[in-house]
Amino acid sequence: MKSYYVRTFGCQMNKHDSERIAGLMEAVGYVPVEEIERADVIVFNTCCVRETADERLYGQVSSLKALKTGGRPDVLIAVGGCVGQRDAEKVLAQVPHVDVVFGTHNIHELPSLLEAAESGRPAVSVLKEGEAFASELPRSADKPWHAWVSITVGCDNHCAYCIVPAVRGRERSRTVESIVTEVTQLVAQGVAEVTLLGQNVNSYGRDRSGKPRFAELLQRVAGTGIPRIRFATSHPKDLSDETIAALAELPALMPFLHLPVQHGSNRVLEAMNRDYTQEWYLDRIERVREAVPDIALSTDMIVGFPGETESDFLQTLDLVERVGFDHAFTFIYSPREGTPAAALPQTVSRETAQERFHRLASLVKDLAYASNLREVGQQRACLVEGASKRDRTVLSARTPHNRLVHVPVPEGRTPESFSGTIHPILITQAHPWFVSGTLGEPPAPQSPRSDRR
Ligand code: SAH
Ligand code: SF4
Ligand code: F3S
C-alpha cells in the first residue's frame, strides 16, 4: 500500500487544510507514515506570511533531493498552500525535483495531479479564485477529538504588510447550514472541541447579505451540543457587542480571545491600514472584560514596521502592559513582495528591529508568567490531549483559558487513554510557558453547561 506524509507550515487554516489533504489521500488508498523518508508521497502545505516561513520551505524541499537521487526516484513531492498559490513557477524553477504544485483553491485536485505526475512530468495547477470549500472534503485528523471548522475563507481586508489576501482570495462565508451540519456530525463522532476558523471571523456573513452574523452563528453552533467552542481570528475593528455578549452567555464558548492588535501607536496602525485606534482597541478589551471578567487574552504584534520610531514602539510596550495579555505572538516585520508596505522605505534597521523585538518578547514572557502564577490554586476542567511532546510520563492538557497544563500520567494508565477527555485539574505550579498540576477524579461530566471552569 502506498503511503503519504504531510508537513504543515503556517496558520491554523493550513492545519485545517492539511487534515483535508490527509483525508483525500486516505480516500484514494494511501496510508499515513510517521517518518518523511518512508513516504511514497510527500506533501508540503506551505506558508509565505513572513520570509522565514518561505525560506524554511525551500530549505526542506531541497534537502529531499537526496532522497530521490539516493535510491527512491519514485517518491513524489507535492508543494501546495500559500507558496504554491503565490509562485508555482518559482517553486519548479528553484527545486526541479518537485513533482506537483497546487494552490489554496484546488486542494481537491491533489489526487489527480499526483496521478498525472506519475508519468514523470511535473503537474501544476493553481486557480485564481475558488468556488469550493476545502471543509467539504473528507477529513483525517491527528487529534480526533478536536476539529478545525472553517467558517470563512479568504480575506477582504487590506492590512498593508499582509500577503494573505493575495494567496487566499476574496472572503467567502460558508452557509450556516453547512457549518451546523458539519459540527453536528462531529458531535456524533465524539469530538469535544471545535475551533471556528476564518482570517476575520467577525465579518462572517458579510458576503451573504450580512445575515446571520457571527454572534448568531456562535449560538447555532453552541446549539449542536458541542462541549467546547473556540474561534480565530478576530479583527478588533469588527468585534461586535453581540459577539462579546455571546462570549458571556454561551457556556460552550471558552473564556479565551485572540485579538491581534499589531501595534500600539495610532500613526503606525493607520500606516498598517488596520482601521482602528489604540483607544478603540482598549475600549473593546474593557467591554470584553466587563462581560467575561476572567477571560484570557492573547494577541499578535509586529515590530519594525516602516516608519516605526522609538516613541511608536514605546506605545506598543505601553499597550501590552496596560492590557496585560496572558499570551502574545510577536513578529519582526517582514516585507512581502506585492503588498503596499513592501514599497515603503525600510526605515528600521535589522539591529533596531531585533532589539525592539527582544524588549517586547521579554515583557510578553513576564506577563505570561504572571498570568500563570495567578492560576495556581485553581481547579479547571481541562481537555487532555495525550502524552506531552517530550515525556510520555506526562499528560498535556488545555485549560478553558487555553493554557497548556502538564500532569503526571496516573500509574497503570497510558497517556492515550486520556486523549480527548475532559478532567478536573488542580493547578499547583506556574512556569513561564505552561502550568503543572494534578489530575482530579472522577472525570468532570462532559455536558456543555458544566465543563467550562
Ligand atoms: N488574519 C489573521 C492572521 C494573519 S497572519 C489576523 O488578521 O490576525 C498572522 C499574523 O502574522 C498577523 O496577525 C501578523 O501579526 C503577522 N504578520 C502578517 N504579515 C506579516 C509580515 N509581513 N511581517 C511580519 N508579521 C506579519
Ligand atoms: Fe492579513 Fe489583515 Fe486579512 Fe489578517 S485581516 S489576513 S492581517 S489582511
Ligand atoms: Fe501563512 Fe497562508 Fe496562513 S500565508 S499564515 S499559511 S493563510
For residue 199, the ligand 2 atom closest to its alpha carbon is 6
Which atom of ligand 1 is closest in space to residue 300's alpha carbon? 15
- E strand intervals along 76-216: 76-80, 100-102, 123-125, 146-150, 152-153, 172-173, 193-197
Instruction: Indicate which atom in ligand 2 lies nearest the CA of residue 235.
Output: 5
Query: How far is the C-alpha of 172 from the C-alpha of 19, rounded, in Å?
Result: 20
150 in a structural domain: yes
301 and 330: one domain? yes
If you measure from the C-alpha of residue 200 to the centroid of ligand 1, how many angstroms do you get, rounded to a whole number? 12
pLDDT in tens, the chain (453 residues): 899 999 999 999 999 999 999 999 999 999 999 999 999 999 999 999 999 888 888 888 888 888 888 888 899 999 999 999 999 999 999 888 999 999 999 999 999 999 999 988 999 999 998 888 898 899 999 899 999 999 999 999 999 999 999 999 999 999 999 999 999 999 999 999 999 999 999 999 998 877 789 999 999 999 999 999 999 999 999 999 999 999 999 999 999 999 999 999 999 999 999 999 999 999 999 999 999 999 999 999 999 999 999 999 999 999 999 999 999 999 999 999 999 999 999 999 999 999 999 999 999 999 999 999 999 999 999 999 999 989 999 999 999 999 999 999 999 999 999 999 999 999 999 999 999 999 986 454 555 444 444
Q: Are residues 362 and 330 in the same domain?
A: yes
In a domain, 182, yes or no: yes
Report whether residue 340 contacts ligand 2, using a CB cutoff of 6 Å.
no
Domain limit, last residue, from 373, 401, 424: 373
* The pLDDT of residue 69: 85
The pTM for the full model equals 0.94
**Is residue 1 packed enough to be buried (19+ CB in 10 Å), middle (13-18) or exposed (0-12)?**
exposed
Residues 280 and 307 sit within 8 Å (Cβ to Cβ):
no
* 116 and 141 part of one domain: no
Cell of 25: 489521500
Ligand 2 within 6 A of CB of 218? no
Among 373, 389, 423, give the residue marking a domain's end.
373
Q: Cell numbers of 99, please?
A: 513533482
Tell me, what's the pLDDT at 63? 82
Question: Rounded to 5 degrees, what are φ and ψ at 326?
Answer: -80, -25
Which of 338, 354, 373 is a domain's end point? 373
Ligand 1 is surrounded, with C-beta below 6 A, by 11, 49-50, 161-162, 164, 199-200, 233, 235, 260, 262, 300, 302, 331, 333-334, 336
Ligand 1 atom 12 nearest Cα: 300
CB distance 178 to ligand 2 below 6 Å = no
pLDDT at 139: 93
Rounded CA separation 359/365 (Å): 10
Give the domain CATH number at 414: 2.40.50
Query: Is 143 a domain residue?
Result: yes
Pair (252, 340) in one structural domain: yes
Ligand 3 atom 1 nearest Cα: 47
Asked if 292 and 334 touch (Cβ cutoff 8 Å), the reply is no
Residue numbers of the domain that contains 25: 3-125
The torsion of the CA quartet 371, 372, 378, 379, rounded to 10 degrees, works out to: 120
Residue 12, ligand 2, Cβ within 6 A: no
∠ CA 232-236-242 to the nearest 5 degrees? 80
Cα 402 to averaged position of ligand 2 atoms, centre (Å) = 23
Atom 2 of ligand 1: nearest residue by CA position: 199
Q: Is the CB of 162 under 6 A from ligand 3?
A: no
Q: Candidates 161, 171, 199: which one to mutate for ligand 2, based on the most atoms within 8 Å of Cβ?
A: 199
How many structural domains does the chain have?
Answer: 3
Ligand 2 neighbourhood includes 335 CB (under 6 angstroms): no
What would the grid cell of residue 153 be? 475563507
The answer to whether the CB of 82 is under 6 A from ligand 3 is: yes
- Residue 447 has what pLDDT? 52
Domain identity same for 391 and 413: yes
Asked if 80 and 16 sit in the same domain, the reply is: yes
**Closest among 196, 107, 195, 203 to 155, alpha carbons compared:** 203
Ligand 3 within 6 A of CB of 43? no
200 within ligand 2 shell (Cβ under 6 A)? yes
Name 329's bridge partners: 300
433 C-alpha to ligand 2 centroid (Å): 27
Q: Identify which of 328, 324, 265, 322 has the alpha carbon closest to the alpha carbon of residue 301.
A: 328
CATH code at position 305: 3.80.30.20
C-alpha torsion angle, residues 256, 211, 108, 27 (rounded to 10): 70
Grid cell at residue 434: 505552561
Pairing of strands 31-32, 3-8: parallel
- What is residue 445's predicted lDDT score, i.e. its pLDDT? 52
Q: Answer yes or no: do 285 and 412 share one domain.
A: no
The number of the ligand nearest the C-alpha atom of 158 reads 2
Nearest ligand, CA 233: 1
Q: Residue 53 CA: which ligand 3 atom is closest?
A: 1
Ligand 3 center to 199 CA (angstroms): 9
Which residue type sits at 197? Answer: L
pLDDT of residue 209: 79
Size of the chain in residues? 453
